[in-house]
Chain A
């Protein structure tokens, strides 16, 4: 079991009139090598779930075991370590650092990992090549299209060879053709054994995943595998 959460709550303004239960008792198990889509309307709690699963946020109550480790008991430093080595994030807004060029952005997680200068440039170039962006290595984000920026963001996510890729609406800001290309990259990663968590509001996008978890009002309302036609 890679991800094991049990009775997880994320409650804002608890006990007040404005109390919001973004996650309301969620339990979920994901195995290594799965391709899971977490689907829900806006406000359903799917992003909150990803933030908690990705150790970007802490749950109010509940247990979270990642690879058998109790994440809720970890220190800030240990969480940084997990984000750095175990998880690769792909965000809707790309979240590249504007002052750095593509290569430097992809190198960043490797720097925090302590990879040596010579090695990390090669690794980063390799990751960029995988998403077809090696020719743009020295361009800044502002000099690239949205699709290109997202591919750089994917290269950054995969450069550290994480066990899990978490993609929050990765195609949300892209046109359908570029979006399909991004999903293609995710499928390739899945084939090579990486666990993929795809967060989306779009059933069409979700149909690319092998398993669909449906969220509404902070609760899981459906969880089922599905047949996919990837040709």
Chain B
């Protein structure tokens, strides 16, 4: 008997017992589909997180420091100056601050309210709220924004506290729609601001785009007396990030010495980078993928055990048939081959259906959970899950086949 015959016999046997074959497949279908969907969703989430951090800014260091006794911005100025002295390591520095008081932005008939705490209903959409950022001339570089038109705020604008601004894509769209805002004037609490330029959309989370950047020297007039004590420093490379962080830590450690109990008595400071955060996130989501993968793997295994069960029942059910086959001259090898192929074919079909359902499920899950329009599982997962299901089928098909073929023909024939 050749392999082709064995294939035909296996197919015949599967098609003759549709319910049994379907039940066998069901385990594998569920197993493969759940592996594909779970792993794909976790991978998608992972990818999205990494994209977010990349847009947010690699090599971005957040530095903050406040002195309990400092009343005239001395600490802030010292920190700023020190950062500027690291010019061989850093590409830019900008305050990490925004206007916290209520601001009414107007252009023509359009009005946007910022921090209008009294008039926010319970259903207020926080993502849609604008943020008036206090930035330096390096705001765009530090925060990974790219100009879509016009220019950035200049050093001179900051020095002279010029009434100028740069719009994020969200703010530009809300106020100007599709017309060019450069050269137009908007008002912030009635004070006119000239629009110098606008940024391209980040397209990740809308609140990154809902910004209006004005020179940080407006801090005094717009935020009252509060000091700027937090900066974003953009390092030139991952290497430079580590170096700059070490230096900043040393510098601020000198400004705020710790006492015997390990506490600073005159202030506090923090130096941290998205790089390390991203690293953390990455290992965390790897962990997630591992756990989900394990759960999915178990469901595949359960599917495989289901196959083994059905195959064992099948052997008992078909012992007589095996007896007949042996009586008319089937070799042990032929029967093992037939059963193996049967198992492999059932698993392959089940695996293919599982992949199909997994792809559709991934698409739906991607749309619902991650707002991605066409998310599909990676080829690696798909092929891996498929191969796994076929190998399972062969392993679990092997035992019943060996049991079936080892019977004496007369014993098998007597079975009812």
Contacts and interface: CB of A to CB of B under 8 A. Distances in A.
Interface of A: 51, 54, 56-58, 76-77, 80-81, 83-85, 89, 91, 95-97, 99-100, 108-109, 111-114, 156, 160
Contact of B329 (A51, A84, A91): A84
A95 B5 contact: no
14 contacts: A56-B327, A56-B413, A57-B409, A58-B408, A76-B332, A80-B329, A80-B331, A91-B413, A95-B327, A99-B17, A108-B325, A112-B1, A112-B329, A114-B2
A20 B207 CA distance: 89
Interface string B13-24: 100110000000
Interface in B270-290: none
Given A99-B12, A112-B1, A112-B334, A84 B410 contact: no
A85 B410 contact: no
A180 B357 CA distance: 60
A74 to B, nearest CB: 13
A135 to B, nearest CB: 23
Nearest to B332: A76
Nearest to B4: A117
A99 B13 contact: yes
Contacts of A81: 329, 331
Q: Which one of B5, B332, B409 has the greatest number of beta carbons of chain A within 10 Å?
A: B409
Nearest to A48: B410
B326 interface: yes
A163 B19 CA distance: 42
B321 A77 contact: no
A115 to B, nearest CB: 10
Contact of A112 (B320, B323, B331, B410): B331
A41 B333 CA distance: 38
Contacts of A54: 327
A54 B327 CA distance: 9
A77 B335 CA distance: 12
Contacts of B410: 51, 56-57
Interface of B: 1-2, 5, 12-13, 16-17, 320-321, 323-334, 408-410, 413
A156 B408 contact: no
A57 B334 CA distance: 19
Contacts of B5: 111
A96 B329 CA distance: 14
A83 B1 contact: no
B339 to A, nearest CB: 15
B20 to A, nearest CB: 12
Given A77-B332, A112-B330, A112-B331, A83 B2 contact: no
A81 B334 CA distance: 12
B332 A83 contact: no
B21 to A, nearest CB: 12
A97 B12 CA distance: 12
Given A56-B409, A56-B410, A113 B329 contact: yes
Given A83-B409, A97-B321, A89 B332 contact: no
Nearest to B328: A109
A13 to B, nearest CB: 15
Given A81-B329, A95-B324, A111-B5, 11 more contacts: A56-B410, A58-B408, A76-B332, A77-B332, A80-B331, A83-B329, A108-B325, A108-B328, A111-B1, A112-B328, A113-B329
A107 B409 CA distance: 19
A91 B410 CA distance: 12
Nearest to A54: B327
A95 B410 CA distance: 12
B334 A97 contact: no
Contacts of B2: 114
B331 to A, nearest CB: 5
User: Across chains A and B, which 4 residue pairs bring their CB atoms closest together, nearest first?
Assistant: A84-B329, A99-B16, A109-B328, A56-B409
Nearest to B17: A99
Nearest to B9: A111
A74 B77 CA distance: 99
A114 B409 CA distance: 21
A208 to B, nearest CB: 24
A56 B413 CA distance: 9
Given A112-B1, A114-B1, A95 B330 contact: no
Q: Which one of B16, B320, B326 has the greatest number of beta carbons of chain A within 10 Å?
A: B326
A89 B327 contact: yes
A56 B408 contact: yes
A114 B331 CA distance: 12
B334 A95 contact: no
B328 A84 contact: yes
A109 B325 CA distance: 8
Q: Which one of B323, B328, B409, B410 has the greatest number of beta carbons of chain A within 10 Å?
A: B328
A78 to B, nearest CB: 10
A80 B326 contact: yes
Nearest to A88: B328
A76 B335 CA distance: 13
A83 B12 contact: no
A95 B321 CA distance: 8
